[in-house]
């Protein structure tokens, strides 16, 4: 999917959410409250910025030899109560390298979040753990990853809200045996905007 098509998709989803929200508010919507069993699906798109990379000894690799890129993702959440939610996430991110290559990351993980606030604004702190499919120059690896994030969303109706998130992403590249000297630990900043459908 091209960057332009991705941006247009997110823009259309956001405008649709705003339109539906305006229609529902005009008909007199009720106060929004979270409860056990509430579910949501979030579609996000944004930027992916390399922060720093550590080598197998923990020393900083400078420069990181990567340029900023883009990210997109879909998240599902099930509320266990008023403030705690669990779910899953599938995403894709890519950055270009100084050598002209593209590092592509496709993490699949489980998520947990603490959600607070109420209508119309909510905020959250979330964590995510899972496996990441990483590919560059035709070579691929499957590695673990971790994310720690925070977000802010605004309801536009009882069914839709607009969301912004920022996350720190820790993505190790782990090799065994004689290749263990190639181990590295990459850190990225991910920021995104998207639309949430609540049901």
- Domains observed in the chain: 3-198 (2.40.160.20)
Helix, strand or coil for residue 17?
A: helix
Asked if the peptide bond before residue 191 counts as cis, ω within 30 degrees of 0, the response is: no
How many CB atoms are located within 10 Å of the residue 128 CB?
Answer: 22
* Least confident segment among 81-85, 93-97, 98-102, 193-197: 98-102
pLDDT of residue 34: 79
What's the Cα-to-Cα distance from 198 to each of 48, 127, 160, rounded to whole Å?
A: 26, 20, 6
> Is pLDDT at 14 greater than 90 in this prediction?
no
Task: Give the contacts of 26 (CB within 8 A, at least 6 positions apart).
Answer: none
Record the tokens describing residue 140, joined without a space: 């691929």
> For the whole model, what pTM was predicted?
0.77
Q: Tens digit of pLDDT for each residue in 99-120? A: 888 999 999 999 999 999 877 8
Asked if the peptide bond before residue 188 counts as cis, ω within 30 degrees of 0, the response is: no
Please give the Cα distance from 141 to 102 (Å, whole number): 14
Record the tokens describing residue 25, joined without a space: 């508010």
Q: Tens digit of pLDDT for each residue in 124-179? A: 999 999 999 999 887 888 999 999 999 999 999 888 999 999 999 999 988 787 87
């Amino acid at each position: 999917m091209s960057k332009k098509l991705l941006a247009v998709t997110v823009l259309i989803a956001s405008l649709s959410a705003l339109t539906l929200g305006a229609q529902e508010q005009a008909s007199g919507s009720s106060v929004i409250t979270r409860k056990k069993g509430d579910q949501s699906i979030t579609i996000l798109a944004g930027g992916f910025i390399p922060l720093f990379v550590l080598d197998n000894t923990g020393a900083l690799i400078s420069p990181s030899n990567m340029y900023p890129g883009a990210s997109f993702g879909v998240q599902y959440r099930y509320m266990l109560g008023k403030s705690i939610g669990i779910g899953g996430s599938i995403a894709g991110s890519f950055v270009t390298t100084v050598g002209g290559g593209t590092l592509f990351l496709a993490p699949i993980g489980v998520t947990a979040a603490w959600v607070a606030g109420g209508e119309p604004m909510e905020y959250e702190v979330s964590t995510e753990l899972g496996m990441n499919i990483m590919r560059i120059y035709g070579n691929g690896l499957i590695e673990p990853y971790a994310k720690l994030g925070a977000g802010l969303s605004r309801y536009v109706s009882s069914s839709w809200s607009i969301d912004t998130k920022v996350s720190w992403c820790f993505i190790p590249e782990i090799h065994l045996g004689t290749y263990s000297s190639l181990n590295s630990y990459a850190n990225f900043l991910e920021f995104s905007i998207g639309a949430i459908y609540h049901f």
